């Protein structure tokens, strides 16, 4: 088949890197990059270090309101699909790129394969929740990472074309961690900051619910400043301006080391070597879980409920004292990690075998 893969954000580049290599053994794949993530550290770097094939189309949509961004993507993706006439479209996850790609394909009656289907936070205020629900309801093949995701789809009346294949991100972590250790054999580039393993916390913040409210972001940073270890925080481009303003406040600087976004290989090493992760990222919650690093999720809900088992992931509301107390007092039950909630690291093989046998 001729298959168009639509990508736009960091987590999708990671998943596609591991899927595309296998997919291209039997199919013609064309990659479309919407440009949702356009900063070099969030986009081109990932294509380079993971050897993801270059996109044939880069739509350069960039930032904007949800309506502006999604509307531009819809128009551009539709034209690509009309020109290329693919037999299927692959989308990943729950970004605006995902929904725009799915809607454009659906209107043209092109089968949609949704990788990472069935996730639900049940918070319809989240753009990601809206995107993933719409995408699932127009998809032909739905590749679920967990049993919970399959059950979520069944509750919405979706049962045909649903497969529990395991988590592609788990495949990616297993594969790229080996590459990361070989590449950075002499240590992390920021080794001079980290005196020894587990001497730091790792933090990332990017979700609109935490960054569109300056008071929430201030509360988070105040909490980080009061912890017992340094906090290494790669700064997402969308909050760079806010961070620069808040850094002028004296109680924000004593404990946090702000760095540029890092590539995936370096991020895996940062996760593996830190004491704990603090994040609002869905992908980072899982990566921390796969690497057995305790995670504090700065949200009131998570799509990845399996990670909560054994206390490996703990939900935490945005309040300074609560964040500090949660981080300092997290304890995990290592026995909980014995259950293979996310499969056995063979999700890519299962997905490609199903696609190989697909008949529209």
d(CA 281, CA 190): 22
d(CA 6, CA 74): 12
Task: Return the HEC string of the chain.
Answer: CEEEEEECCHHHHHHHHHHHHHHCCCCEEEEEECCCCCCHHHCHHHHHHCCCCCCCEECCCCCCCHHHHHHHHHHHHHHHHHHHCCCEEEEECCCHHHHHHHHHHHHCCCCEEEECCCCCCCCCCCHHHHHHHHHHHHCCEEEECCHHHHHHHHHCCCCCCEEECCCHHHHHHHHHHHHHHHHCCCCCCCCCCCCCCCCEEEEECCCHHHHCCHHHHHHHHHHHHCCCCEEEEECCHHHHHHHHHHCCCHHHCCCEEEECCCCHHHHHHHHHHCCCEEECCHHHHHHHHHCCCCEEECCCCCCCHHHHHHHCEEECCCCHHHHHHHHHHCCCCHHHHHCCCCCCCCHHHHHHHHHHCCCC
| Choice among 33, 206, 236, 337 that is catalytic | 206
Structure tokens at 181: 């250790």
Does residue 187 come out as left (phi exceeding 0), alpha (psi in the -120 to 50 range) or beta?
left
d(CA 210, CA 99): 22
d(CA 105, CA 135): 10
Structure tokens at 333: 């039950």
Q: Residue 206 catalytic? A: yes
Q: Would you please indicate which residues are annotated as catalytic (active-site) residues?
A: 206
């Amino acid at each position: 088949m001729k298959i168009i893969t639509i990508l736009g954000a960091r987590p999708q580049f990671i998943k596609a890197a591991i899927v595309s290599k296998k997919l291209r053994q039997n199919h013609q794949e064309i990659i479309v990059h919407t440009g949702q993530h356009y900063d070099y550290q969030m986009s081109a770097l990932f294509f380079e270090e993971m050897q993801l094939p270059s996109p044939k189309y880069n739509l350069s949509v960039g930032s904007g309101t949800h309506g502006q961004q999604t509307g531009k993507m819809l128009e551009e993706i539709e034209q690509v699909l009309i020109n290329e006439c693919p037999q299927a479209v692959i989308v990943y996850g729950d970004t605006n790129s995902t929904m725009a790609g799915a809607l454009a394909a659906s209107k043209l009656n092109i089968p949609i394969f949704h990788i990472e289907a069935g996730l639900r936070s049940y918070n319809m205020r989240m753009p990601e929740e809206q995107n993933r629900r719409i995408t699932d309801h127009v998809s032909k093949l739905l590749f679920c990472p967990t049993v919970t995701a399959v059950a979520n789809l069944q509750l919405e009346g979706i049962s045909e074309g649903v497969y529990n294949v395991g988590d592609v991100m788990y495949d990616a972590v297993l594969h790229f961690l080996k590459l990361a250790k070989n590449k950075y054999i002499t240590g992390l580039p920021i080794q001079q900051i980290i005196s020894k393993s587990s001497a730091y916390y790792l933090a990332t913040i990017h979700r609109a619910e935490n960054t569109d409210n300056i008071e929430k972001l201030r509360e988070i940073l105040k909490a980080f400043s009061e912890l017992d270890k340094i906090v290494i925080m790669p700064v997402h481009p969308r909050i760079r301006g806010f961070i620069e303003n808040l850094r002028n406040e004296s109680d924000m600087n004593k404990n946090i080391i702000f760095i540029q976004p890092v590539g995936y290989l370096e991020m895996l090493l940062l996760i593996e070597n830190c004491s704990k992760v603090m994040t609002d990222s869905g992908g980072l919650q899982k990566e921390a879980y796969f690497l057995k690093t305790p995670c504090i999720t700065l949200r009131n809900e998570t799509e990845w409920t399996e990670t909560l088992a054994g206390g490996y992931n703990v939900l935490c509301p945005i309040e300074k004292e609560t964040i500090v107390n949660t981080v300092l007092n997290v304890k995990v039950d290592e026995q909980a990690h014995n259950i293979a909630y996310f499969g056995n690291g063979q999700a890519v093989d299962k997905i490609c075998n199903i696609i190989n046998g697909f008949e529209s």
